[in-house]
Amino acid sequence: MPTLVIYNPACGDRTAAQFFSTHVLPLLHSAAIAPAAVHATTHPGHAAALVAAQLDADPAPLTVVLGSGDGTLHEIIEALTNTPPAAVRAAAAFQLAFALVPCGTANALYAALFPPAPADDPTEYRLRSLRALLAAPAAPARPLALALTTLVPPPRAAAPAHTAVSAVVASTALHASILADSEALRASDPSLARFHTAAAQNIARWYAAAATLLPLRASGAVERWDPAARAFAPHPHGTPTVDVPGPFAYFLSVVNVDRLEPAFRIAPAARVDPPRGAALDVVIVRPRRDPAVELDSDETRAAFAEKLKAVLGAAYQDGAHLLLRYAEDGSLTTEGDGPLVVEYVRCGGWEWEPDAIDDKAHLVCADGDIHEIPKGGKATCNAVAPKDENSGFAVYV
Ligand SMILES: Nc1ncnc2c1ncn2[C@@H]1O[C@H](COP(=O)(O)OP(=O)(O)OP(=O)(O)O)[C@@H](O)[C@H]1O
């Protein structure tokens, strides 16, 4: 199987080149793996073009040793899914297996596949996927599910639908707004502090939209997490789709991961109770479930924003946000049997139809890329899995 080595020298703290020359390339050499080529990317889109060129020249199963964050991985997966190289189209299937070397800022997929422990040696920790490649075929690569989000224009619109491809996250509401605003702030604030600025700008916002959850292919139902039983159970309102009226504060789905940063375990069951087949774990917060929310006013939204901050803070406490409930007065508690603050569901997909008047509800985030739903349109997101173990994308774990 040919092996291509690609790293993004500009990602994270910009140390990928040094890490590759000091650790990755010597390790490949000592394992007698001679890469077909070693590339440092020079611009956005470069990694995808390099992989496409390799697959066009030779559509055989390919291994890519990839030094990057989630963004470069996303770029390769989206490009190959939406526009497979001609030779791959002719072969009707391909397998691309990654050995990931985390060099980005968040590295959500890597952190989910290799949850960090305090005792980890930092260098060895970053070499775990590469070591799994070297141990293959004892440990074959693990297939990745994908979330395909189609931005559907209104009926009779001239523009074609666009499909975004995620290997980590597909979101709307707060998460999409933070990503969009932090990108706009990048020029004035290149530090990570821009994410906090963007969060503060959006935390009190509610998003006017209607969502529908689509059933899992495996069970034919939408499932809802029961924190007391620590298990999913069929959603009580499933028929088999579940209508979820807005407004929303938070709406985020993940695929392949239980976390978006090493400690931010927003969808813990994705690891402790992984889905069988293609599935999305969706985390929803809707302000109208809060007994203290009666009127919609600035004060109400400001008070609810504090609760949302507490929810997201609890996600850093080993996924404790799923235990939060409303007391009768709307305060947050982990006692009693009040309504759960977070609705955590597992489903085959979702639809999101924003109200025309709410511009921010039209934003969709796919692995960090921001897309806009055309006015009068909607977003439809579906989980898909490789059709067999010899096709699609996989990661050495
Ligand atoms: N030489 C380059 N210069 C600038 N940008 C590049 C270069 N090569 C790739 N890119 C782009 O850099 C972007 C960010 O890369 P990546 O996601 O790998 O790192 P990150 O943002 O630091 O990490 P994470 O996604 O884990 O937070 C990608 O969208 C990619 O297209």
In whole angstroms, what is the distance from residue 326 CA to residue 131 CA? 46
| pLDDT over 80 (residue 237) | yes
Is 151 found in the same domain as 185? yes
Model confidence at 189, in pLDDT bands (50, 70, 90)?
A: confident
In a domain, 390, yes or no: no
Q: For residue 66, which of 39, 27, 94, 44 has the smallest C-alpha distance? A: 39
Q: Check pocket membership of 107 for ligand 1, CB cut-off 6 A.
A: yes
Mean residue pLDDT across the chain: 93
Is 133 found in the same domain as 150? no
Is 154 found in the same domain as 113? no
pLDDT at 332: 98
In whole angstroms, what is the distance from residue 153 CA to residue 364 CA? 14
Number of domains in the chain: 2
Report how far ligand 1's centroid is from the alpha carbon of 258 (Å): 22
Residue where one domain finishes, among candidates 106, 140, 174: 140
Q: Which helix (H) or strand (E) holds 300?
A: helix 298-315
The whole-angstrom distance between residue 377's C-alpha and the CA centroid of its chain comes to 23
Local structure of 1: helix, strand or coil: coil
Token couple for 126? 């970053």
* Segment 291-327, tens digit of pLDDT: 999 988 999 999 999 999 999 999 999 999 999 999 9
Span between the terminal Cα atoms of the chain, in Å: 18
Is 150 found in the same domain as 114? no
Enumerate residues 6+ apart whose C-beta is below 8 A from 94.
55, 59, 61, 62, 80, 84, 88, 391
Report how far ligand 1's centroid is from the alpha carbon of 100 (Å): 14
Is 179 found in the same domain as 68? no
In a domain, 207, yes or no: yes
Q: Check pocket membership of 201 for ligand 1, CB cut-off 6 A.
A: no
Radius of gyration of the chain (CA): 21
Residue where one domain finishes, among candidates 140, 162, 177: 140
| pLDDT over 70 (residue 138) | no
Is 307 found in the same domain as 275? yes
Residue 12, domain CATH:
3.40.50.10330
Atom of ligand 1 nearest to the CA of 108: 26
Q: Check pocket membership of 123 for ligand 1, CB cut-off 6 A.
A: no
Is 128 found in the same domain as 93? yes
Query: Which residue segment(s) compose the domain that 39 sits in?
Result: 3-140
Token couple for 211? 């969502």
Is 182 found in the same domain as 96? no
In whole angstroms, what is the distance from residue 158 CA to residue 160 CA? 6
Mean pLDDT of 164-178: 97
Q: Check pocket membership of 11 for ligand 1, CB cut-off 6 A.
A: yes
The phi, psi pair for 316, rounded to 5°, reads -80, -10
Count Cβ atoms below 10 Å from residue 297 Cβ, excluding itself. 10
Is 128 found in the same domain as 237? no
- The single-letter code of the amino acid at 202 is N
Residue 157, domain CATH:
2.60.200.40
Is 213 found in the same domain as 248? yes
Q: Check pocket membership of 156 for ligand 1, CB cut-off 6 A.
A: no
Is 136 found in the same domain as 156? no
Q: For residue 206, which of 286, 306, 92, 282 has the smallest C-alpha distance? A: 286
Q: Check pocket membership of 70 for ligand 1, CB cut-off 6 A.
A: yes
Token couple for 156? 């009779």
In a domain, 65, yes or no: yes
* Segment 46-74, tens digit of pLDDT: 999 999 999 989 888 899 999 999 999 99
| pLDDT over 90 (residue 155) | no
ipTM for the predicted complex: 0.96
Report how far ligand 1's centroid is from the alpha carbon of 164 (Å): 17
Q: For residue 384, which of 69, 144, 123 has the smallest C-alpha distance? A: 144
For residue 322, the 8-state DSSP code is G
The string over 11-40, giving b where at least 16 C-beta atoms fall within 10 Å of a residue's C-beta and e elsewhere, is: bbeeebeebbeebbbebbeeeebebeebbb
Is 289 found in the same domain as 168? yes
